[in-house]
């Protein structure tokens, strides 16, 4: 039965999609069966993992959420990954679903495919709306990428509030894999301050700050634009190696 991990932060551009991609590719490289779910109307994960997510597509995560198709009918095998794609249609969900029980739709839809995989990795949009609530309700653990800057760190407090509400209402077992510092530049003087501040904030909230951090590297952007698997595109790159270390850490901590 697959463990479901979701990558989330309501702040934009912090490395959610990159992290979802790298975690999925890393787990696959280690021999695990991985399903990616693009749950962001921007469709960035679909793009970088070579999925077809044109707006005319009749089988995306949107159609699953609407109850028109089963999840298994929407999985694309792209050569890079097994992925349920998303596109702009998904943004309609925020307006279309207002009734009771709307936070359970993704969880219930994914249940039948969980026996087919070891891990499901969900990428989420930069928002705390109904899509994110569905992703949190469907997940065992949340991984929180945070830009290595102070304003980004402050967003963790608001995110943690949402996690608390989800635990009370729709998913009491929701775990926090931890806060992951991304685009980290160790030689910059402020880096030490940022790590320390991140440590203070996470300790106060009672959530883990991961020991692993992700170095800043242009290869992250290049691999995704070229739609390459970063694990084989640049196996010796620092950031790529950081993501493999992250998997080791998450496994050692029993999150994966």
Q: Which of 239, 244, 247, 250 binds ligand ATP (CB under 6 A)?
A: 239
Tokens of 252: 């050692």
Tokens of 78: 């792209």
- Give the separation between CA 183 and CA 160, rounded to whole angstroms: 22
Piece of the chain touching ligand ATP by CB under 6 A; list 64-72, 154-162, 204-212, 218-226:
218-226
17 near Mg ion (CB under 5 A): yes
Q: Which of 2, 4, 6, 15 binds ligand ATP (CB under 6 A)?
A: 15
Site for Mg ion in 87-106 (CB under 5 A): none
- Give the separation between CA 210 and CA 202, rounded to whole angstroms: 10
Q: Which of 6, 7, 16, 209 binds Mg ion (CB under 5 A)?
A: 16
**Cα angle vertex 50, ends 44, 55, to 5°?**
60
34-38: strand order across its sheet:
76-77, 82-84, 34-38, 119-123, 3-7, 141-147, 175-182
Q: Which is nearer to ligand ATP, 118 or 149 (CB)?
A: 149
- Give the separation between CA 227 and CA 106, rounded to whole angstroms: 27
Nearest CA-CA partner of 179 in 46, 203, 221: 203
216 near ligand ATP (CB under 6 A): yes
179 near ligand ATP (CB under 6 A): no
12 near ligand ATP (CB under 6 A): yes
Site string for ligand ATP, 124-143 (x = CB under 6 A): --x-----------------
How many Cα atoms within 13 Å fall on the side-chain side of residue 50?
13
The binder of 76, among Mg ion, ligand ATP, none, by C-beta within 5 to 8 A per type, is none
183 near Mg ion (CB under 5 A): no
The binder of 214, among Mg ion, ligand ATP, none, by C-beta within 5 to 8 A per type, is ligand ATP
A 10 A CB-CB count for 85 gives 27
Asked whether the beta carbons of 36 and 121 are under 8 A apart, the reply is yes
Q: Which of 75, 224, 240, 244 binds ligand ATP (CB under 6 A)?
A: 224
Piece of the chain touching ligand ATP by CB under 6 A; list 29-37, 168-176, 197-205, 216-224:
216-224
Q: Which is nearer to ligand ATP, 64 or 220 (CB)?
A: 220
46 near ligand ATP (CB under 6 A): no
Piece of the chain touching ligand ATP by CB under 6 A; list 6-14, 57-65, 149-157, 203-211:
6-14
- Give the separation between CA 77 and CA 84, rounded to whole angstroms: 9
Nearest CA-CA partner of 99 in 63, 130, 68: 130
- Give the separation between CA 180 and CA 198, rounded to whole angstroms: 10
Closest residue to bound Mg ion by CB: 17
Contacting positions for Mg ion (CB under 5 A)? 16-17, 44
């Amino acid at each position: 039965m697959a463990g479901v991990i979701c990558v989330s932060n309501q702040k934009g551009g912090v490395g959610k999609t990159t992290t979802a991609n790298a975690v999925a590719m890393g787990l696959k490289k280690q021999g695990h069966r991985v399903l990616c779910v693009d749950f962001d109307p921007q469709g960035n994960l679909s793009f970088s993992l070579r999925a077809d997510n044109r707006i005319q597509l009749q089988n995306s995560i949107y159609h699953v959420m609407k109850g028109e198709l089963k999840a298994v009918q929407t999985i694309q095998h792209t050569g890079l990954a097994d992925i349920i794609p998303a596109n702009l249609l998904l943004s309609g969900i925020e307006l279309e679903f207002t009734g009771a029980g709307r936070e359970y739709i993704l969880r219930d839809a994914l249940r039948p495919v969980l026996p087919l995989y070891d891990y499901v990795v969900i990428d989420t949009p930069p928002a705390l709306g109904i899509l994110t609530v569905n992703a949190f309700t469907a997940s065992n653990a949340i991984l929180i990428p945070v830009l290595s800057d102070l304003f980004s760190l402050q967003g963790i407090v608001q995110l943690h509030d949402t996690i608390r509400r989800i635990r009370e209402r729709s998913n009491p077992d929701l775990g926090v894999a931890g806060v992951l510092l991304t685009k980290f530049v160790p030689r910059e003087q402020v880096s030490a301050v940022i790590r320390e501040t991140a440590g203070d904030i996470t300790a106060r909230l009672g959530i883990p700050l991961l020991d692993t951090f992700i170095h800043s590297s242009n290869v992250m952007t290049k691999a995704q634009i070229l739609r390459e698997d970063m694990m084989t595109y640049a196996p010796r790159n620092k950031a790529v190696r950081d993501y493999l270390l992250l998997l080791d850490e998450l496994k050692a901590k029993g999150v994966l």
